[in-house]
Structure formats: structure tokens, C-alpha cells
Structure 1
């Protein structure tokens, strides 16, 4: 791919932001649509869990493969494939008439999303340099993360005013706009001469994660003693272990273990695992409980996240600029600890529900912590990796974040005690706070500040 000139910067950022946002927006918009989906299609809590985890499963397990394909065969080709697949799958989800079809369509949607994210982010890292790239990081971070957080509000409006189905059908519009913008980008893909993909490793990764997640979600219904539980769990664990072993010897690994020799990269990814598990758990529980437990409409439940979104957008550029001068360690420590405090404030929610005094203060504190965390986490983790490996490095970081959400939602029933009532909501708040605090402590002990680098690149996790 050729280098970009300055006038192309806005177009590159717009394409990268839109392509990433359409995947992340969908992953959060579904949270407030879950009660409406369950009411219309049935299936109880298991349907709600699988509507989330089917998407996360294919997204997290295939994004490693997609990162390698993006680096090997060209970012624009992979981006177009992801956009078209995501649009078609979104229409299928919106037309679903039973839980099985919906879950299958969500899995396809996640697979397409996996091809969207690393290729779109790699456009910034491969086409922009120096201050231009740093500015693009801040714009991309605020836009994509803000879009994902405003998802619950959009989902609520669709559920209350039209139907939950429009929350997915609407994806066709941003997909079409992004495809049109890609066609206007005056650059071309260059295929690497040594391109190669570990397809068997991708199968092992996907099957391993799938078996384990299936067992965790269905265990409350069937019990650990059921062969339908322990066999997929054991088989999945064996296949995922085989996947990791294969990555040590494969000529073209989809998970280059050498990336984790860099201290800030592996420590930052470990912190990402805990922080994004907490964010996924909090987003799911708050979106569902405010409707089913507190009796709010889907729109009001979506509006509940607006303070967090506003604070994130306002604080991210400021925190990113400060972290560039002071280093990311302080922000990656303080931010998650502040969010842990916000999660504990949700324990104020009682039988007599009051959003203004019981929920809003907690969400404001969560927004402050999130605004302090996102941009520094972005540049610190991937700033340690050279730009030639930006596609796979971004994909690995994103996979860590999505696997974190995948696992914590699979463990939802044990976390909430089997039912998302008030007691279950409180238990989830405590677990959220513990995960956030762990992420902050890991960053404090493991991250080392370094001189500002032009190689800092955006993280798909955001």
C-alpha cells in the first residue's frame, strides 16, 4: 500500500472509524434489545446469552485469522469482504423468526466483524505517520468508543419506537457509506510475497473456544455431570491448548507468540483482559436489569449510558495528550481503579429504584475512569509493536478484549446466582469492581513508561 498524503487523512480516519464502529456499535446495541428479543422469540436467559456470545465467539476466534489475512493479502480487500458480510448478516438477524436462526446469524455477523476490525485499524498505522498518526489515534478512539457506548441509546429508541429488528437492519446504511468511501481512497493493496495463513490453527482456535463457551453457557441447564457439558468443555480445552502449541511451530502463525516478549504489550493485554471483561459484564447487566428489574423502557435504559459516553469523548483526547508526555502507566492504573469505585456505587441500587441517586453517580464515575483509560491503553500497548505487524498486533489485542467479554458473559449465571434480580445485580457490580481493580493493579506493576513514539497505533479493543 502506498503512503498517504495529508489531504487523504480525513478520508482514512473516516473509513477506519466507520468500519470499526459498525462492529462495536452492534456489540453494544444488542444489550438493550435482549429483553425484546427474548419476549418475541423465547428461550429465556440462554437466548440472551447466546445472542451476545455467538457474536463474540466468532469475532474473537476469527479476528486473529483476519489480522493475518489483512497483513498478507491487503487491508482494503479484507475490509470490503468484512463490510459486505456484515451487512448481509445484519439483515438476516433482523429477519430472524426463531432463536436458533437468530443465534446462527449473529455468529455470521461476528465472523464478518472479525474481518472489519484489524483491516480498518491497519489503514491508520500503514498510511499515516508522525503527528498525523497521533491525531488520527485520538479521533479514532473518541469516535469508535463513543459510538459503541451510544449503542444502547440507539437500540432503546429502535425497540420502543419501531422494533428490535431495526437495531440490526440499520447497519446496512453505515456499511454502504463505508464501501462508498473506500472506493474513493486513492491507494491500492500490495500482497506480501511471503504471505501464508495457518488455516488449521484457525480451526483449532474456533472449535476450542466454541466448545468451552457452549459448556459454560449450558451448564446451569444440564449440570456438570452431563456428557453434553463436560465433553465439549474438555474437548474445547484440548483443542485450544493444541492451537497454542501449534503457534510455536507454525511458519505463518495467526497468533505470533513472539509479540508477547515485549513487556508493555503482554502486560497491557493482560490488563485489557480484566478491564474489558468488566466493561462487558457491566454493559450486559445494566442494560438488562434497568428494563427487567427497574422497569425502565428500552430508550430510558439506553439513555442511562449517555453520561459515560459524553465523559469518554470529552476526556479521551486530553488523556491521550497527557499520556504521550507522562507515559501510560499512571492513566492505566488510576482509570480502572476509578471505574472500580463507580461499579461499587451501583450497590446503592435498591428495591425502590431511583436513577438520579442510585445509578447516575456511578455512571459518571465510570465515565471518568473510562476517559482516563482508553487512549493511554491504546498507545501504550501497540506503541511497543512495529508498524509492519500492526494488523496482527491490533487483532491480537482486540481478540483479548472480545474473549474477555465472551468468557464473562458465559459465566453470567454463576456470577448473578442464576437470576438477574436485585441480588444478582449487586453480585455483578462487585465482580465488575474486582475485575477493574485487577486491571489497574496489573498495569501499575507491569507497565513501563517509555519515550513518546510515532509508532503508537490504535487498539481494536477500544
Structure 2
């Protein structure tokens, strides 16, 4: 069994990695510039917050389309079309003349970006074969490092040439990504184009938008108002209707029958809980630095660098260890590491030094990488190739909703604790108490980890009879 990635597969990952990395960074870069948007467009903060919300909602809405698109048009066509839409949205955002126009253009950008991550995972998983473990480590790079580097780059561009360059910097990089994809991504012949499940799409996309919006609104408001509860109820209702439909449909837009596999269901649950645990560090620590210690956004972003170091180390070794020892030992180690870090962070106070936080932040990145890589390997290993688009769509749904739930839970907890804080000491304690949500999610991660089959290995994806897709496994 190979523990390294072949040159052809590495070239494919490199060609597609840049586009996904830009999408992940754009999710966090813009948050640094919200005050600049408010000032330049002479509007209020509640309006400019829709610049981030519109992007998030558009990404959630198009996730179900990705699986159908790759089965209908092929990987290269679907990838280049999504990348072109993301590039167009970036250009229009850079040229925005008002808050309303920027919000609308961010929705276009999010529609293109929302499909790139599931397409990326499907394209790589289909071609990884026995190199699945190391390949999944590379697939985790944008998910782990994008949110860390985004605030830093966003602060540099906003303080330097201006906020428009947060979007315009994407243009040459997207052009390079498109050129590289054309060079290394083989064209595909689709024997039987997939049918679009219109009813499933009409149910799942609005369900995700309602749930993500409701959770985002709860986080921003610090509680659950009438509109938030209504949106969440509508989203959950539509999601339940979709489940009933998908279990009966011959070709659903997301095949829920995959969850009959214990390993697949456990990995999906692990991804959801892992996103809740990850957001504790990525969301609360920069805010803690700014609110309690008075650091600038750029300074706070730079202090998150240890998370990137820990993630890089984890991605270097997690794939090889997963291939060698299986999913359960690596994921269990990562979960215990995340739990230990979260419990330590519950003791956060106004007097906590950045030199104490730095190693904890690094260990958090190390732990999440050790969970992410085996979880993704378990999801994709052994699936027939025609099922991979359904698997990646399901994974992205769990990641998106898990991240939104994590943000809402932590933000509501923090705002309720901070509302009664009379000084910095009590404010610091409020941050520590919020980390109990991360600790709880980390503890719950042990349940799906223990459900993994003990002897599971990373089997290559099986090729369906008559499938003409080229393999890059060597």
C-alpha cells in the first residue's frame, strides 16, 4: 500500500487546490473589512453584515447541485464552470458601488464557490485509489488553513491597498487555477447523464438556507427571536420532507442510503461535531484577543498562526498513519487531543497569556487534522465511483451546518455571558465558559469514533461497470 501521492495525482490536487483555498479564505477575509464597508458605503453594520451572510447562504444553497453537476457534465466542465462563476463574482465585488450591489455580487461569488469544495473532494477521491489517506490529508488543507490565513491576508489588504483587493486578488489566481485544471484534468465521457432531482433540490436547498440563516441570525443576535425560530422550523420541516422523498426516489439529488453504512454515518457525525469544536478556536480566540487584550484584528489574526502550524504537522502525518493503522486509532487520538484543548480553554481568563494560548492553539490544529483526515478517508474509501458525488455533497452539508451550529452556539453563549460582565475579568470568564460548547462537542466525538470498524482500511473506490473515467493511481 502506498503512503505517498503519485506525481499525476499530486498535479491534479495542486491544480484544484488553489481554487478551493481561495473560497475558504474569502469566507473569513471579508469579516476583517466590515467596518471599511460600513464607512465607505455610509451604511450601518447590520446592513454590511449581509456581505458575509449572502456569501454563506449562496454557498449552502448550491451544495446539493454539485453532485448532480459532476455526474451530468463531468468533473472538468463542472469545475471550470464553478470557478468561472466564482471569478465573475470576485470581479463584480471588487467593482461594487453600494452596499446593496456588494451583497448581490457576493451571492454570485458564493454560488460559484459553494460547488468547488464538493467537486474538489469528488474529483480527488475518484482518482486517489490506494493513495486515499495521503490524498485526503491534502484535501484538508483549505478547510484547515483557509480560515487561519484569511483574517491575516484580509487585514493586510484592507490596511494596505484597500478592501476591493480582497476580491480583485482572486482574478489572477483564478486564471492560474483554470489554466492548471485544463492542463491536468482529463476530459470525461458521460455514458448516461444524471437526471436532476428537481423536487429534492427544491426541498434541500431552501432547507439548508433556512437552517444556516437561522443559526447565523441567532449567533448575531445572541439569542433565538421569532424570525430565527420560524426559519429553523421551516428548514427542519423541509429537511424532514427531503429525507422522506430521498429514501423513495430512484435517483435522489443526495442518496441517503449511504447512511446505512456504519462507517459512513459515523464519519459524517464526526465531521459535524469536529466543525463545532474547530469553530471554538477559530472564532473565539481572535475575538478574545481583541476584546480582552485590546489587540488589533491583524495582530489577533497573526496570533492564530500556531493553529496553522499544528494543522500543517497533522496533515503531513495523518494520511500515512491512517493508511498504516486504520481510521479508529488516528481519529481517537485527534478527538482526545481536541477534548483536552477545549477543557483547558474553559479556564480562560483575562489574565491568560498569549504564550499559554499559543501551544493550545497549535494542539487544536493538530487534533482537528487528526480527526479530519481519517473521517474523510472513511467516507470515501470503498465507495463505488458513482456514489462519490453523493458522499461529498452529504459531507459538505454536515460541514456547513456543523460550522453554522458551532458559530451560533458559541456566539449565543458568549453574548449572554458578556452582557452581564462588569469588567475585563468577567468578560474573560465569559469566553472561558463559552468553550464548554467546544468541550461538549469534542466529548461527543468519541461516540462516532468508537463506532468505526476496528479493522477498517482505506480501500480504493470501486469503478462501476462501463465507467470510462481515467485513473491516476500508480
Normalised by the length of structure 2, the TM-score is 0.83
Answering whether residue 377 of structure 2 is matched by residue 343 of structure 1, we say: no
Stretch of structure 1 that moved more, 239-248 or 420-429: 420-429
Provide structure 2 residue ranges, at least 5 long, that are not aligned to the other structure.
Answer: 1-5, 420-426, 463-474
State the alpha-carbon separation in 2 of the partners of residues 97 and 342 from structure 1. 44
- CA deviation profile, 1:417-440 (whole Å, cap 9, x unmatched): 355853542233221222122123
Contact 1:213 1:410 in 2 (8 A): no
Which residue of structure 1 lines up, in the alignment, with residue 107 of structure 2?
A: 107
CA shift for structure 1 position 363:
0.5
Contact 1:155 1:302 in 2 (8 A): no
Contact 2:263 2:453 in 1 (8 A): yes
Which residue of structure 2 lines up, in the alignment, with residue 450 of structure 1?
A: 456
State the alpha-carbon separation in 1 of the partners of residues 337 and 311 from structure 2. 13
- CA deviation profile, 1:311-342 (whole Å, cap 9, x unmatched): 22123232221221211112212212212322
Which residue of structure 2 lines up, in the alignment, with residue 15 of structure 1?
A: 15
Aligned ranges for residues 312-327 of structure 1 at < 5 Å?
Answer: 312-327=311-326
Which residue of structure 1 lines up, in the alignment, with residue 269 of structure 2?
A: 270
Number of corresponding residues: 448
CA shift for structure 1 position 7:
5.9
Contact 2:274 2:441 in 1 (8 A): yes
Stretch of structure 1 that moved more, 9-18 or 142-151: 142-151
Q: 1:398 aligns with which of 380, 390, 396?
A: 396
Aligned ranges for residues 374-389 of structure 1 at < 5 Å?
Answer: 374-389=372-387
State the alpha-carbon separation in 1 of the partners of residues 429 and 94 from structure 2. 33
Distance 1:396 1:216, change over 3 A: closer
Q: Secondary structure at the match of 2:318?
A: helix
- CA deviation profile, 1:367-422 (whole Å, cap 9, x unmatched): 23124223222212221422232222122112211111123334454222355853
State the alpha-carbon separation in 2 of the partners of residues 225 and 140 from structure 1. 38
Which residue of structure 1 lines up, in the alignment, with residue 465 of structure 2?
A: none
State the alpha-carbon separation in 1 of the partners of residues 454 and 107 from structure 2. 38
CA shift for structure 1 position 356:
1.8
State the alpha-carbon separation in 1 of the partners of residues 188 and 385 from structure 2. 16
State the alpha-carbon separation in 2 of the partners of residues 66 and 98 from structure 1. 31
Provide structure 1 residue ranges, at least 5 long, that are not aligned to the other structure.
Answer: 1-5, 457-462
State the alpha-carbon separation in 1 of the partners of residues 288 and 260 from structure 2. 41
Answering whether residue 78 of structure 2 is matched by residue 72 of structure 1, we say: no
Aligned ranges for residues 5-154 of structure 1 at < 5 Å?
Answer: 8-34=8-34, 37=37, 43-44=44-45, 48=49, 50-96=50-96, 99-131=99-131, 134-142=133-141, 145-154=144-153
Q: Supply the RMSD in Å over aligned alpha carbons.
A: 3.1
State the alpha-carbon separation in 2 of the partners of residues 340 and 61 from structure 1. 32
Contact 1:247 1:256 in 2 (8 A): yes
